[in-house]
Structure formats: C-alpha cells, structure tokens
Amino acid sequence: MIAEIITIGDEILIGQIVDTNSAWIGQQLNLNGIRVKQISSVSDDKEHIVKALKEAEGRADVILITGGLGPTKDDITKKTLADYFNVGLIEHLETVEMVRDFFAKRGKELTELNRKQAEVLENCRVILNHNGTAPGMWIEQNNKIYVSMPGVPFEMKAMVDDYVIPQLKKQFDLPFIYHKTVLTNGIGESFLAERIEKWEDSLVANEIKLAYLPSPGMVKLRLTTYGKNEADLKAKVEKAIEQLTPIISEYIYGYEEYGKEPDQLEKLVADLLLSKKKTLSLAESCTGGYISHLITSIAGSSAFYQGGVVPYHNQFKHNLLGVSNDVFEKHGAVSEECVKAMALGVKEKFHSDYSIAVSGIAGPTGGSDDKPVGTVWIAVANDSGVVAERFQFGTDRNRNIRMTALASLNKLRKMIIEE
Amino acid sequence: MIAEIITIGDEILIGQIVDTNSAWIGQQLNLNGIRVKQISSVSDDKEHIVKALKEAEGRADVILITGGLGPTKDDITKKTLADYFNVGLIEHLETVEMVRDFFAKRGKELTELNRKQAEVLENCRVILNHNGTAPGMWIEQNNKIYVSMPGVPFEMKAMVDDYVIPQLKKQFDLPFIYHKTVLTNGIGESFLAERIEKWEDSLVANEIKLAYLPSPGMVKLRLTTYGKNEADLKAKVEKAIEQLTPIISEYIYGYEEYGKEPDQLEKLVADLLLSKKKTLSLAESCTGGYISHLITSIAGSSAFYQGGVVPYHNQFKHNLLGVSNDVFEKHGAVSEECVKAMALGVKEKFHSDYSIAVSGIAGPTGGSDDKPVGTVWIAVANDSGVVAERFQFGTDRNRNIRMTALASLNKLRKMIIEE
C-alpha cells in the first residue's frame, strides 16, 4: 500500500517552521508496512491544495493531510476539501460538546468562531480530537482514503496513533515490517561503526538492514527486516542483537520497539528507583536544571524524586550543599572533589537514597588549557559512598548540557544495577 | 518569481531524517523575494523523480533539487537528470582535482567510485563544492532553471549562499517580500482572532497577509507583504503593527524579523536583568527545573542567574525556603500563600534582586474539583514585594510545564519593565 502526505501552510514554505509532522507520520506508516511515496508541502491556497490532492491521488491509496484546520481566516483546508468532494459541511454534535467542554474547563465560553471548528464534511467519519478543538476527518471516495488532521503535532500524533494506524491495519492486509533499535550511550558513531563492522557485514545474509541514528549523547542502531511471518522476523532480529550485545555491552542501555514505550534513560532510572522504593536528589551546576527537568517530565516522578538545587555560583554550593571553600581554592568548582561534595551534600539535604551532582564548563566561553570547554565532572552517590568521573564533551553549550544529563543518568543507572 | 524545492531520498520518506534543508532553502529564497510554491520530498526512484520535475515545471520558474548525488548505488539523481534533459555526462576536471585533494587531505587515495563524483551533466554550469565531493549543477532549459545540489546540509547551504542566490539576483528583477511576526503570550488563538477581527479585516486593503502560528504558551501573528519598494513595505507593516498594539498590548512580548534573532522570553528577561545589573533566583515545584533550564541555556547566564531550587515535596519547601507548615495545612502547596512564601524564601536564600516561584498540578493525575490538573500558581518578587496569579492550563503534563514557564517569564518581564 502506498501513502502520501500533504502538509498545508505558508509557514512551512517560507521556512518559518520545519515540517516535523511528515517525518513523524512517515516513520509511523513505515513501521506498519505502508510505503510513503511523496511528501508535499503546499501553500494555504485553494487551487494549489486541489492540485496537490489530484496529483497524490494518481500515486497513492491513502492521502494524509495536515494543517489548515484552525478557526482563523487563513485556514482553508476544510472549505477546500468540501468543494473538492462536492459535499457540504455539517455540525458534529459530539465535537460541539467537546469544544464547549474544552473552553469551559479553561473558564471560557464557546464563541461563534470556535463553534465553527465543530463543522465537518458530510461524507466523513469524524476523528475526535481529545487534545484540541479541530476534529480530524476520514473520507473514503473513489477507492482512496483521505485523512485530514490538524497541524498541531500532539493533536495530530494522537489521531494517527489512536485512529489512523489501527484503522488502516483493519482495512488492509499489510506486510510485516519488524524493527528493533538498540540504544547506546558513551560511544560516537564512527567508533561504534568500526567496532561492529564484522557483525554489520553479517546482517546482509540475514536480510537485516541497519541504520545509524546519531543524536547528542546517543547513537541508535535500528535493525529492520520485512517479510510474511512476524515470528520469524522477530527471531532473526533478536538473534542478531544477541550477537551484537557482547561486542558493545557497556554502551547499550536500552531498546526501542514498535508498540512499546522506547527506553529513555530518565525513565529507566525512574523505574529502577520505583521498583526498589528508593529516592533521588540532584545538584546541578553546568546542566542548570536540565536533569531535574528530564526527571520531572515523567508523570509520577514525585514518588521518588525529592528535589534538587541549581547552585550556579560557588557561594551557593557552599551555603546550600556545604562544599568547603577549600575545595574551590585548591581544585576549583569543576573538579572531582567539588562534585563529590555536592553529591553528598544534596543527598543529605534531601534525605535521598541516591544523588547526582554535575559541574562543568558548558561553554561557549569559560574554558582553560587544562579544563577546556566541554570538561564535565559527574558524581553519583548512594549509601555506601560516592564515585566521580571526568568527561570531555564538545564546544556547543546545549549539546554539552544534553550529553552531561544523559551520561549522568546512565552512570546512576549502572550504579543502581550493579549494587 | 516562483520556486519549488524537490528533496530526493528514501531516508526522508521513512522519517529517518527530518528534512531541514527545505525549510532553510525556503527561508533564504523568501528573504530574497522568491516565492516557494511547493516543497516535494520524493523517493530515490527514477520515474518518480521525473514526474516530480514535470509537475514542478508546470508551476515554477526555478526548481531546486537536493539529494541523491552521493557515490553509492541508491543515489540516482544525476543519471535521472541526464536522461531527463537527454544529455550525457562528462568529467569535470576541476572537480576531479578537488575530490582528489579532498581525499588526499584525509590520507586516502581517489577511488573509481569517488572519481565518478566529478561527472556532471553536459549542459550544466558546475557549482563547485568546497565542503564535500559532489559538485552542484545549474541547468537552464526551456526558460526554466534547475539547480541540483547535494543533500548534506552544510555543503548545500554554502552553494545556495555563494552561488545560487547571487546568480538568481543577477538574472531576475526580484520583488521584495517583507515579513514581521508579533509574538504573544497569555491568549489563545481563537480569542486573539476575535479580539483583532476588525484590525485583521483592515489588512486586506493594505495587501498584508496575516497568519496565526500557535504553539504551547504562545501564538505568533505573521504579517507578510510583497512589492517593489522595501521601505514602503516595511512602513506598511510597521503601521499595521502600530494599530494592532493598543488592541492586545498586554499579550505582546516581542517580534520576529528575518535576519534578526527572534525574541525569546528567557532571552528578553536575561537582557533586561543584564542591562539593569540585577540578579534572579528560581523556586520551581511543578516546572521541576524547566525554567532554570531555559535560563541556563543562554550563554553567559551566570552573570545574572544565582541559582534555584526544585523542592518537590512540602518538607523541602519548608526546610529550604522557609514556607511555614501552616500554609500547607490551611491552603495547600498549590496556593497563593505558598508560591508567595516560596518566592520570598528563594530570593533571600540566593540574595537575588528578583525571584520566580511556581507550584501547580502538572498532571496527568493529582487534580481535585477546586484545583483540577493544570491549575498553577505563579509568584514573582522584587525588592518591593511579591505578587501572585492563578493560571488554568490543560491536561498534558509537558505542555503545562512549558506554558507555566513561559507565563512565569512573561510575568517577571512585565514586573521588571513596569518598575
């Protein structure tokens, strides 16, 4: 089965926003054995949208459309689709109630403009929007399927996950595609490639495709295989991962599989702490609260997270965490001695079972010959003591923050597991 | 003049990479008065590329193509273009030398496969690649211009900047496009639309196009106009913004203009604090360190940021910030009394001139009838005292965190300005 994606909106064409929606949709379709033939981004212009629809129809069985469903005057997708299919718009009562409720919860009344959001094409099945006001629409005509969704990513994603993919699976006999992704932290792409070269060569005979997906602080290795029998495909990939594991075991922290939440370092740490009924506190200098943000992005983190401090100057490392002024004078704030004292100090302050402390030079300035930009000390503590390690990251401030956070969480994860 | 962008490569269609090239090219063309009509991402497939070229020709004067120029077998752009224009390939001597040099610098010899990179279409002008091995090609045929470039972003960008844009400016009398975007916080898209409806209607007469660009915690209003005279267009847009300002002044926090860094709330707050030589501290409960992360993402933030605490439980709000246990009993942690005490407590602890404190129910659970999920109290303090406000956001945890952070920063910004 072939699909096409049409994203509507001038903001994409003038480069004001990067179209991440199509990449995400492409990924989801691909994972489910649906090939995406073309992605087209077109302007908020009726004639142009119609032309794109016609062209897509000539190539694809399913046409997914995002954007242009807002309540404002520049959003014309709905009107254009109605004309295209030569149907009228009707008010969808369930959606009216959802929109009314949406605004009521925010202490606001339903306006005429908002009520218009509940209008849908006569010939559609409505895809309810549980995260916003514009409903999605599923239209079947001339043996083709058209799906219109809002451009707001989290509204669109929920519709694809909860409705579009399950519906397509129900209506079509899709081939099996099996992917599993190995997640690594602590080794760069080219070093990884060298280390697993022989293993990688062996994949060809098994018809497994390998992709390297690098991002700051991690490299993902995605294994893909196609076929008729799901169990066979899965067994083949699992065997390949079994052969890979001893070669790079110290770098693997988790996996990503379709239909499962991908492993995330913060989530792995959270699950370990929850299962052991242990608590955590954080003392962050160079990461400035980013590790705390990752941890508290997890719903339910208050069950194990006690809290943290961001002592952005030495005096507060001293006042709040009891780091002795001697340490700053003899070793500086970016040192083994400092992060160890911070980790012990915050652990005591928050009565936690574990703690992480980081101190480093995030950049772009502030480096020296022996501590260049990207130098970071990380300490993790438990009831038996504290250990620290020096890392050397790059020159980009925000990449350094991200890489420090992931390395810290991985260090804590290993500490908890190895106990 | 109308342009289209075609990006070639399966990795885009399966969502393995997000196509940032087209957004960047769109921006550059737009800045120079060239309208992008459509962006198409197509597969590494000859027939499909030819079809995309034909369709683009029907709409555009200039067709910019990226990708598919690598040395591996799946990169077939060059061969397809040669067949499309019915011309042969010839070796470009200057490029052979550049490629040889490229590999020599990396201690490698020129292979047969790499030598093929130096082949170009007979009917093209070569665009030298100073950053990689695949040359670009500029082809003029049937009154249309085709530009083929590599997909590697930094190789492509250098070609666009150094060759493509200057060449287009030389060959065409380009109109000017002027955009300015008004950034708002604190009002939803539909309420904004209602409030500025009359003003929006008045834009038509001035040939200004308006776009609403919503994202969590903000709505951007983009004004666009085309014409011959840069100064006139700018004046027209500035006048429209002048008329808009009194209608929604309390929501506008900044602007976005091409060629300038867009205003960001955290950066605006940072600049205000730096210019006044004042300092800041943060006490974050429901945002869990995210505001601190935004602030410390700014290089040089240590000049004004003292630090923060994330007291994720009442006992630490008490121990670290001195919030009286009475407050929790009488009002709860999500209350005016609590955030005010937190703001004053953290300000004192970190000897700062300003502070922000937030406490709320980020969700997805933890709400009650009078304090549903999304209820957030925000306090900002200065030397004269502390003020607090209650907000009601939605049900998505991470959106609530983002919205709380932006509302807090805007509240502080207003406090500093209004002093």
- Characterize the bridge pairing of strands A354-360 and A280-284: parallel
Q: According to the model, what pLDDT value does residue A381 have?
A: 98
pLDDT at B330 over 90: yes
What's the ipTM? 0.80
d(CA B40, CA A45): 16
CA-wise closest residue to A32 among A208, A232, A171: A171
Instruction: List all residues of chain B from 68 to 127 with a beta carbon under 8 Å from chain A.
Output: none
Rounded to a whole number of angstroms, the distance from the CA of B398 to the nearest CA of chain A is: 6
pTM: 0.81
Mean pLDDT, rounded, for B312-341: 97
Written as one letter, the residue type at A245 is: T
Q: According to the model, what pLDDT value does residue B350 have?
A: 98
**Percent of chain B surpassing pLDDT 90:** 74
Mean pLDDT, rounded, for A55-78: 86
Q: According to the model, what pLDDT value does residue B73 have?
A: 53
Q: Would you say how long chain B is, in residues?
A: 419
Written as one letter, the residue type at B8 is: I
d(CA B257, CA A44): 21
Q: According to the model, what pLDDT value does residue A132 have?
A: 86
Instruction: List all residues of chain B from 326 to 385 with a beta carbon under 8 Å from chain A.
Output: 349-350, 362-365, 372, 374
* Crossing angle between the packed helical segments B314-321 and B336-349, to the nearest 10 degrees: 40
Helix (H), strand (E) counts: chain A: 17, 17
Per-residue model confidence as pLDDT tens digits over A18-51? 888 998 999 899 888 898 999 999 988 899 999 9
- Superfamily assignment of B265-418 in CATH? CinA-like (3.90.950.20)
d(CA A152, CA A158): 10
Query: What is the Cβ-side half-sphere exposure of residue A78, based on CA atoms within 13 angstroms?
Result: 27
Chain A residues whose CB is inside 8 A of the B23 CB are 12, 15, 17-19
Structure-token match 């700053």, residue found: A328
Residue range B176-256 in CATH 3.40.50.1220: no
* Percent of chain A that is helix, strand, coil (3-state, to 5): 45, 25, 30
- Establish if A22 touches chain B: CB-CB under 8 angstroms: yes
Spell out the SS3 assignment of chain B.
CEEEEEEECHHHHCCCCCCHHHHHHHHHHHHCCCEEEEEEEECCCHHHHHHHHHHHHCCCCEEEEECCCCCCCCCCHHHHHHHHHCCCEEECHHHHHHHHHHHHHCCCCCCHHHHHHHEEECCEEEECCCCCCCCEEEEEECCEEEEEECCCHHHHHHHHHHHHHHHHHHHCCCCEEEEEEEEECCCCHHHHHHHCHHHHHHHHHHCCEEEEEEECCEEEEEEEEEECCHHHHHHHHHHHHHHHHHHHCCCEEEEECCCCCCCCHHHHHHHHHHHHCCCEEEEECCCCCHHHHHHHCCCCHHHCEEEEEEECCHHHHHHHHCCCHHHHHHHCCCCHHHHHHHHHHHHHHCCCCEEEEEEECCCCCCCCCCCCCCEEEEEEEECCEEEEEEEECCCCHHHHHHHHHHHHHHHHHHHHHHC
Structure-token match 């390690």, residue found: A389
pLDDT at B16 over 80: no
* Nearby residues of B254 by Cβ (< 8 Å), 6 or more positions away: B183, B262, B263, B264, B265, B268
**What is residue A171's DSSP assignment?**
H
Q: According to the model, what pLDDT value does residue A74 have?
A: 62
* Interchain proximity A23–B19, CB inside 8 Å: yes
* Interchain proximity A43–B39, CB inside 8 Å: no
Q: According to the model, what pLDDT value does residue B74 have?
A: 57
Residue ranges per structural domain of chain A? 2-171, 176-257, 265-418
- Give me the CATH code for the A176-257 domain, please: 3.30.70.2860
The answer to whether A176-257 and A265-418 have equal CATH topology is no
Residue to test with chain A: of B190, B358, B361, most A Cβ within 10 A: B190
Q: Would you state the torsion angle of the CA atoms of residues B268, B270, B273, B279, taken in this order, to the nearest 10 degrees? A: 150
Q: What is the mean pLDDT of chain B?
A: 92
Range with the poorest average pLDDT among A220-234, A267-281, B350-364, B372-386: A220-234
Q: What is the mean pLDDT of chain A?
A: 92
Per-residue model confidence as pLDDT tens digits over A69-98? 777 766 788 999 999 999 999 999 999 999
Rounded to a whole number of angstroms, the distance from the CA of A372 to the nearest CA of chain B is: 16
Per-residue model confidence as pLDDT tens digits over B259-290? 788 899 999 999 999 999 999 999 999 999 99
d(CA B370, CA B323): 22
Instruction: List all residues of chain B from 271 to 310 with a beta carbon under 8 Å from chain A.
Output: 282, 284, 287-293, 295-297, 299-302, 305-310
Rounded to a whole number of angstroms, the distance from the CA of A94 to the nearest CA of chain B is: 20
* Interchain proximity B299–A152, CB inside 8 Å: no
Q: According to the model, what pLDDT value does residue A122 have?
A: 94
pLDDT at A370 over 70: yes
d(CA A388, CA A392): 14
Q: According to the model, what pLDDT value does residue B49 have?
A: 93
* Interchain proximity B312–A289, CB inside 8 Å: no
Query: Please, are residues B155 and B138 in contact by the beta-carbon 8 Å criterion?
Result: no
- So what CATH class is B2-171? alpha beta
Q: According to the model, what pLDDT value does residue A73 have?
A: 61
Query: Please, are residues A407 and A394 in contact by the beta-carbon 8 Å criterion?
Result: no
Q: According to the model, what pLDDT value does residue B271 have?
A: 97
Per-residue model confidence as pLDDT tens digits over A124-157? 999 999 988 899 999 999 899 999 999 989 899 9
pLDDT confidence bin for B329, thresholds 50/70/90: very high
d(CA A71, CA A115): 9
